[in-house]
Amino acid sequence: MSMFAASWAPLSPAERAVAIEVLTHGPVSRTEIARKLNLSAGSLTRLTKPLIESGLLVEDPAPVTVTTRQGRPSQPLDIVADSRYFAGFKITEDAVYGVVTTLKSDIVAARTRPLDTHVPDDVAALLHTMTEDFALSFPRLAGIGVGVGGHVQGRTGVVASPFLDWENVPFAELLEERTGLPVVVENDVAALVEAEAWFGAGRGLDRFAVLTIGAGIGYGLVIGGQLVRTPDDSRGVGRRWIIDPHGPLTPDGDRGSVVSLLAIPSIRYQVRAATGRDHTYDEILTLAAAGDPMAARVVTEAGRALGTVVAQIANFAMPEKILLAGEGVGLVDVAGPAIRSALHANRHPLADPVALETKISDFNDWARGAAVLAIQILVLGTPKD
């Protein structure tokens, strides 16, 4: 008998809409669901009955505050969070970070394994081993999500990744063959954006932008609750997003680009070029905060770049909120004045303040984003659907 759980029966479009509403906003009253989805009470009852019978939804026993027109209590509906579990993986150049989440994306287990090969079959074998390890404690695994830095064709799992030296690798197929579970592979930034839009900082927002700072620069935009997809996805827009044509020249990214100014390797490169000494990113931030001249100059310039980028996103995408995420957002604490100065300089004086939120994301957060993709498979159907 397989240690992995079977998925639920495919949902109809109307059932999916109900499930997504409860998944992302539950517990939620039937009245609120009916209002948001423009359904009659009878239609909602018909749609929710099979979802409750299958174990996807449950009538929340919490105190009831909403009543129907007839005066009967309306029990809120919620997702049975631990009815299925999902594995999420973030593949970096030298390690694989894996997590298990509930149906509501809460992390319940995490593992990290070194990656000493980039051969696709070997990487798939490692993820299979990690999945089997997870399944020993969480036998109801229902899907796998994988996030990777690079270009992924339409979630079919065909990956082109410069970090892994992959070109046209059918990674989802390789992993599905081994595990027997539905697998979705996505660009890691897109996965993080989806997770924040469904369960995090962007939940319930119509327009929401995410800028990630780390080994590279990532950007994602959600409009109408949907991630905006273009043929340029994951092609490295930051390398040619020029902030200062007279800015620093680094090995990765054009002169004065967002990548050259803001990415962690670029900041480390600039300090090393100026001082002849190698420092970690955290050491550079600490030195800058203490007033070290060279570190402070590089960090201040990065802060001005970040403020300019945030202003440009606000000006042109007009999101309700911008989330700064990734391993590099500690910059905000050290370069706050430079960020605010550049932000104000690039916005109209009467413009509303930018709703800016920061979240230092470790690699487990990126893996959680991939798990959310697996949750979406279950609720929305597989990519082939």
Task: For 348-366, write each residue's pLDDT tens digit.
Answer: 999 999 999 999 888 999 9
Arithmetic mean of pLDDT over the chain: 88
Provide the pairing of β-strand 207-213 with 95-101.
unpaired
> For domain 203-360, which CATH number applies: 3.40.50.2300, 3.30.420.40, 1.10.940.10, 3.75.10.10?
3.30.420.40
CB atoms within 10 A of CB 367: 31
| Lowest mean pLDDT segment, chosen from 66-80, 102-116, 207-221 | 66-80
Provide mean pLDDT across the span 224-244: 78
Same fold, 13-79 and 86-194+365-380: no
Name the residue with higher pLDDT: 125 or 249.
Answer: 125
What is the identity of the amino acid at 374?
A
Q: Where are the domains of the chain?
A: 13-79, 86-194+365-380, 203-360
Provide mean pLDDT across the span 259-287: 96
In this prediction, residue 268 carries a pLDDT of 97
Percent of the chain with pLDDT over 90: 64
| pLDDT at residue 94 is higher than 60 | yes
For the sheet with 183-187, list strands across it: 107-114, 95-101, 85-91, 141-148, 183-187
Provide mean pLDDT across the span 72-78: 74
| pLDDT at residue 113 is higher than 70 | yes
In this prediction, residue 2 carries a pLDDT of 45
Provide mean pLDDT across the span 242-252: 90
Provide mean pLDDT across the span 203-208: 91
Class of domain 86-194+365-380: alpha beta
pTM: 0.86
| pLDDT at residue 73 is higher than 70 | no
**Chain-centre distance for alpha carbon 42:** 36
Task: Spell out the residues 6+ positions from residue 207 whose beta carbon is closer than 8 angstroms to its own.
Answer: 221, 222, 223, 224, 317, 318, 319, 320
In this prediction, residue 269 carries a pLDDT of 97
Name the residue with higher pLDDT: 66 or 222.
Answer: 222
Task: Spell out the residues 6+ positions from residue 213 whose beta carbon is closer than 8 angstroms to its own.
Answer: 262, 263, 264, 306, 324, 325, 326, 327, 328, 329, 331
Task: For 294-335, write each residue's pLDDT tens digit.
Answer: 999 999 999 999 999 999 999 999 999 999 999 999 999 999
Provide mean pLDDT across the span 210-216: 92
Name the residue with higher pLDDT: 140 or 290.
Answer: 290
> For domain 13-79, which CATH number applies: 3.40.50.300, 3.40.50.720, 3.30.710.10, 1.10.10.10?
1.10.10.10
| pLDDT at residue 257 is higher than 70 | yes
Task: For 24-59, write each residue's pLDDT tens digit.
Answer: 888 999 999 999 899 998 999 999 998 888 888 898
CB atoms within 10 A of CB 12: 11
In this prediction, residue 222 carries a pLDDT of 94
